[in-house]
């Protein structure tokens, strides 16, 4: 019922009477009053005036289900949304839900992670209510060999969302990071469960540094947030839902052609590894190469010191700039 009340309040700048809401929704005025107070608890600023009714003054910026649903596309696959105060990791929780058959496709969000996971076993610092810590649960009918392309789709979607909502220039650090001003602002971790030649499910985890004001060493040298870059608070609901809407658009295109050709030109234009001297770290060994482009299949094409080209795929490979993180 909260969703329906919110939609009514969003469509008018005038007061909406409790009696009118009661009649429209077919519930008692007491039920309307209780729902309004729940919306207020979620961060919506709603004015209540005797004999006039209710009026929405300010939308919430908290990551609550009503706000997220309001801004998703009508055809969104993320109809199941679970929001937690604290979890170890949204990816771990998503996998537990799949094992328990408690979710098909959906969205997992945590206000705080105590053991957030990054790629190659690294930890991800997840401060409560300052960032976006989420996992997308998907059941795609694709071969396991191309599932890693979903990381690039998520990265492209997040970069577009941040640029759309903040105007900041975002770079993509292949295969799974976003950078602003040379510092990391977003990381993506894709995990999957497979059986031989098919996928049971894929979990795409994403962490976006939104409203942090500082990072402790050693992160201070390599991490940033949208608030640090802009000098103001950023609406996490807008960033998350814009990301989700972009992701669904790109994901549907991917499912039709099973490669990244539909977005690869834009991806390469944003990729900070292209035309850069790189350090490639694989199984403890380091070699230097020049980034050429990301291919339609999601690999990074490089030219080695001997002038030969090769394509590197994500996995246990780490890519760094010659002089640092980027």
Q: Tell me the H-state helices in the chain.
A: 2-10, 18-25, 29-41, 65-71, 90-99, 149-166, 226-230, 236-257, 264-270
φ and ψ of 190, to 5 deg: -105, 130
Orientation of helix 149-166 relative to helix 236-257, angle to 10°: 140
Q: Tell me the H-state helices in 58-148.
A: 65-71, 90-99
Tokens of 40: 């207020």
Residue pair 171/326 in contact by the 8 Å Cβ criterion? yes
Query: CA nearest 303: which of 276, 324, 282, 281?
Result: 276
Burial of 308 (0-12, 13-18, 19+ CB in 10 A): exposed
Pairing status of strand 177-180 against strand 309-312:
unpaired
Query: CA nearest 193: which of 110, 84, 103?
Result: 103
How far is it, in rounded angstroms, from Cα 172 to Cα 178? 5
The binding site consists of 89-91, 113, 184
The binding site for biotin consists of 89-91, 113, 184
Residue pair 18/54 in contact by the 8 Å Cβ criterion? yes
Residue pair 16/35 in contact by the 8 Å Cβ criterion? no
């Amino acid at each position: 019922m909260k969703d329906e009340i919110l939609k009514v309040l969003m469509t008018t700048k005038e007061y909406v009477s409790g009696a009118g809401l009661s009649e429209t929704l077919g519930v008692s005025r007491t039920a309307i009053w209780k729902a309004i107070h729940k919306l207020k608890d979620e961060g919506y600023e709603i004015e209540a005036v005797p004999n006039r009714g209710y009026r929405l003054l300010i939308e919430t910026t908290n990551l609550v289900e009503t706000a997220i649903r309001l801004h998703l596309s009508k055809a969104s696959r993320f109809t199941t949304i679970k929001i937690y105060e604290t979890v170890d990791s949204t990816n771990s929780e998503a996998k537990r839900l799949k094992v328990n058959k408690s979710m098909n496709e959906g969205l997992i969000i945590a206000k705080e992670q105590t053991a957030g996971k990054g790629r190659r076993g690294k930890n991800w610092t997840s401060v409560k209510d300052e960032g976006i810590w989420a996992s997308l649960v998907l059941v795609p009918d694709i071969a396991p060999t191309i599932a890693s392309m979903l990381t690039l789709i998520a990265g492209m979607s997040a970069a577009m969302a941040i640029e759309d909502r903040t105007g900041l220039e975002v770079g993509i650090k292949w295969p799974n990071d976003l950078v602003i001003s040379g510092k990391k602002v977003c990381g993506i971790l894709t995990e999957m469960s497979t059986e031989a030649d098919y996928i049971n499910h894929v979990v795409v985890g994403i962490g976006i540094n939104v409203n942090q004001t500082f990072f402790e060493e050693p992160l201070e040298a390599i991490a940033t947030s949208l608030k640090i870059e802009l000098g103001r608070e950023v609406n996490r609901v807008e960033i998350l839902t814009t990301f989700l809407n972009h992701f669904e658009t790109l994901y549907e295109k991917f499912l039709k052609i099973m490669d990244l050709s539909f977005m690869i030109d834009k991806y390469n234009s944003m990729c900070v590894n292209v035309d850069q001297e790189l350090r490639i770290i694989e199984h403890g060994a380091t070699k230097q190469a020049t980034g050429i482009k990301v291919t339609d299949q999601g690999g990074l094409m490089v030219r080695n010191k001997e002038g030969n080209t090769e394509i590197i795929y994500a996995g246990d490979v780490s890519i760094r700039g010659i002089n640092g993180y980027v």
